Chain A
Amino acid sequence: MSESAVAARAPPAAGAVSGRTPGAWLWLGAAGVLLVLPHVPGLDSDYGRSLLTQMGIAAVFALSFNILFGQTGLLSFGHAVYFGLGAYAAIHLMRAINHGLPVPIVLVPLAGAAGGLLSGMLFGSVTTKKAGTIFALITLGVGELVYAATFMLPGIFGGEEGLTASRTRAPPLFGLAFASQLEVYYATALWSLAAAMLIHAFMRTPVGRICNAVRDNPERAEFVGYNTRRVRFIAFAAAGLFAGLAGGLSAINYEIVAADAVSAQRSGTVLIMAYIGGAAHFVGPVLGAITITWLQSSLSGYTSAWLLYLGLFFIVVNLYAPSGLAGLLLMHGRVARTRAFGALVGAYAVALVPAAVMAAGAIALIEMSYRVATQPELGTKMRLLWTAVDAASAWSWTIAGLALVAGFAAFRATWPLVAGAWERANAEAAGQ
């Protein structure tokens, strides 16, 4: 009986964040990729480089969140507090630099890290008294408290407008003057890589390993000598430090910090990033941060309903790929070399056709609803997926609805095909 109870708590075998480590060559590879990315066609504009910078910041923030969530089993609804307070610490330092303090801008993220660490220790001493649901609720409360405080203490937080500073009015270091987005990108990439390596190293330390033990079974951890409250506190402080560092990077990038830096929405976004990317894997939050940042910046240019799509995406991942993008990649990596893999790809291609029809129907319904409900001044004529559509016509609604229903039915019918191909590939991989 207890066997099944324990097995039920365990995720699929590969879910463990285990001792398998990316070697030094993997970090070198990552550094190489970061070096060439801003010169890749399509990303070599200021827009592309700004997007890459945002991804780097989000990746550090999501990795810091995952110290709590994936590694220690603590679900925080207020992680933006440490990002934001780090960002405020950083912008204060930048303002001091603007007034003549001789500190190079590239060191500003350290002020963010210090702000995140100190606020993490301060609030962590309260929140980490408890674990589980109580912990989650307290972090929610702290988040609201700090958000309210940003408006109540305008001297520190700059009120509604926030605080601004310049990253260029500062002593340059090694010719780095932060005048171009490329320079900001490289500074961010350097700090992000360093942060990722440090977080990875932290998870390999004795206390990092005990974080995993506390996540799995806090009761037993107490009986092998560890005060779980102390372990939670250390994890919380470390998560605060790296969240603050990400906040410091964002202060340099945007040159402004306002209340949205500590907002519940930012806390929710980082949770979604870690979850969609896959919290059980070290690189999961990075994948999630890249995906969500890209969706935020590109999707929002196409449709005002992008948050709705983000929510749908989150729900679909939750339901059908709970191990996230990293989990999906790992699952497919295992079967990629089987002979049955070709059939699996074929099955995916077959399933993709009705899935696309279903998605097109859903998108049409959502977009027409949005147009009619929120932007009536633009009229009912619109272009959707390269097609002229009139939201006032019953035909548009009927066709979209039919596409959704028929697409779903046909998609459903392809599932056995996909499942069969998947099982054959897995059986073959297991036999290898």
Chain B
Amino acid sequence: MTVPALQLERVEKRFGATPVIRGISLEIAAGERHAIIGPNGAGKSTLFNLVSGALSPTRGSIRLDGTEIAGAPPYRINRLGLSRSFQVTNIFPRLSVFENIRCSVLWSLGYGYSFWRDTEKLRDAREHAERALERIGMTARRNTPAGVLTYAEQRALEIGITIAGDPRVILLDEPTAGMSRGEAEHAVALIRAVTDGRTLVMVEHDMSVVYGLADRISVLVYGEVIATDVPARIHDNAAVQAAYLGSADA
């Protein structure tokens, strides 16, 4: 059997005495689009923070393509090919849209902390950035400072920063939060296009987005995964309906 893109084993996280993640085991295959749903406070964002390195798990193992990453700093996990977006827009506000994207490809192209190259002359960095700009449909906004973009544009840029460095595994935290119906549909098409051939894990509240994108769904309730299955069976799962769908207004 092939190595899963992402493998969590009995991952726990406590804040002080409070358990937030209570032993999650989960395998996500390479190329899979996986959604994590659950009521507010279930620990979805904490789980993302553990996988992406923003937080260290109290216990348990997290493997990215077989490499242990639990407790590693974010930049190291990113260099191993995992990139994430944020629920609250997290961009470089004073940099231009283009510069936002270009900063996000520099490491993956091997430029690291170089202080002897002229960034303007790095053709591969420019081309990578331009391709990502085109994919998120923001070529026309190229020179605009990111801080003055509209909300929907900033969300698109957020995804652009996440995918620009060609990560194998992408974590999207509520990519359509706060969007109108039309904007969300546009975002779904964008996400489908940019994650083609990659592994996607996303937290999402909007069930139409989840059903439209996910190959499998995990339901997180009070820090535990109570079900992982294909969308059709999650919909009919009695435990899920009782614990989550029944109580939610979705």
Inter-chain CA distance A253–B113, complex, in Å, is 35
Assess whether B145 is in contact with A3, with CB atoms less than 8 Å apart. no
Contact with B along A205-220 (1 / 0, CB 8 A): 1111110110111011
Does A15 sit within 8 A of B, measured CB to CB? yes
> What are 22 A-to-B residue pairs whose CB atoms are below 8 Å?
A3-B150, A5-B88, A6-B147, A9-B147, A11-B94, A13-B145, A15-B94, A16-B94, A17-B94, A204-B119, A205-B115, A205-B116, A205-B119, A207-B112, A209-B103, A210-B106, A216-B91, A216-B93, A216-B95, A219-B90, A221-B103, A222-B74
Assess whether B92 is in contact with A220, with CB atoms less than 8 Å apart. yes
Assess whether B96 is in contact with A222, with CB atoms less than 8 Å apart. no
Contact partner, B95, options A13, A205, A213, A228, Cβ 8 Å: A213
Contacts of A18 in B (CB 8 A): 95-96, 99, 143
Contact with B along A181-223 (1 / 0, CB 8 A): 0000000000000000000011011111110110111011111
Assess whether A216 is in contact with B119, with CB atoms less than 8 Å apart. no
Binds A, one of B1-9, B22-30, B78-86: B78-86
- A226-B96 CB under 8 A given contacts A2-B88, A206-B112, A206-B117: no
Assess whether A16 is in contact with B145, with CB atoms less than 8 Å apart. yes
Q: How large is the interface on B (under 10, 10 to 19, 20 to 34, 35 or more residues)?
A: 35 or more
Does A153 sit within 8 A of B, measured CB to CB? no
Assess whether B73 is in contact with A222, with CB atoms less than 8 Å apart. yes
Contact partner, A217, options B90, B102, B114, Cβ 8 Å: B90
The 3 tightest CB contacts between A and B, nearest first, are A10-B147, A225-B107, A216-B92
* Residue from the set A202, A208, A209 with the largest chain B CB neighbour count within 10 Å: A209
Contact partner, A3, options B86, B99, B108, B154, Cβ 8 Å: B154
Contact with A along B64-86 (1 / 0, CB 8 A): 00000000011100110001101
Assess whether B108 is in contact with A225, with CB atoms less than 8 Å apart. yes
Contacts of A227 in B (CB 8 A): 73, 75
Contacts of A296 in B (CB 8 A): none
Q: Which residues of B contact A (CB under 8 A)?
A: 52-53, 73-75, 78-79, 83-84, 86, 88-96, 98-99, 102-104, 106-108, 111-120, 122, 125, 143, 145-148, 150-151, 154, 161, 165, 178
Main secondary structure of the interface of B (DSSP, over half): loop
Closest-by-CB residue of A relative to B122 is: A206
Does A304 sit within 8 A of B, measured CB to CB? no
Assess whether B90 is in contact with A220, with CB atoms less than 8 Å apart. yes
Contacts of A17 in B (CB 8 A): 94
Contact partner, B93, options A7, A226, A230, Cβ 8 Å: A7
Assess whether A206 is in contact with B114, with CB atoms less than 8 Å apart. yes
Inter-chain CA distance A7–B147, complex, in Å, is 5
Does A133 sit within 8 A of B, measured CB to CB? no
Inter-chain CA distance A227–B107, complex, in Å, is 11
- A206-B148 CB under 8 A given contacts A16-B96, A222-B73, A227-B73: no
Contacts of A3 in B (CB 8 A): 89, 150-151, 154
- A205-B118 CB under 8 A given contacts A223-B78, A226-B107: yes
Contacts of B111 in A (CB 8 A): 206
- A216-B114 CB under 8 A given contacts A2-B89, A209-B119, A224-B107: no
Inter-chain CA distance A14–B162, complex, in Å, is 26
CB within 8 Å of B: which of A1-41?
1-3, 5-7, 9-11, 13, 15-19, 21
Supply 17 further A-B pairs (C-beta < 8 A) apart from A3-B89, A205-B114, A212-B95.
A3-B151, A9-B93, A18-B95, A204-B120, A205-B119, A206-B114, A209-B103, A209-B106, A213-B92, A213-B95, A216-B91, A220-B90, A224-B165, A225-B75, A225-B106, A226-B107, A227-B75
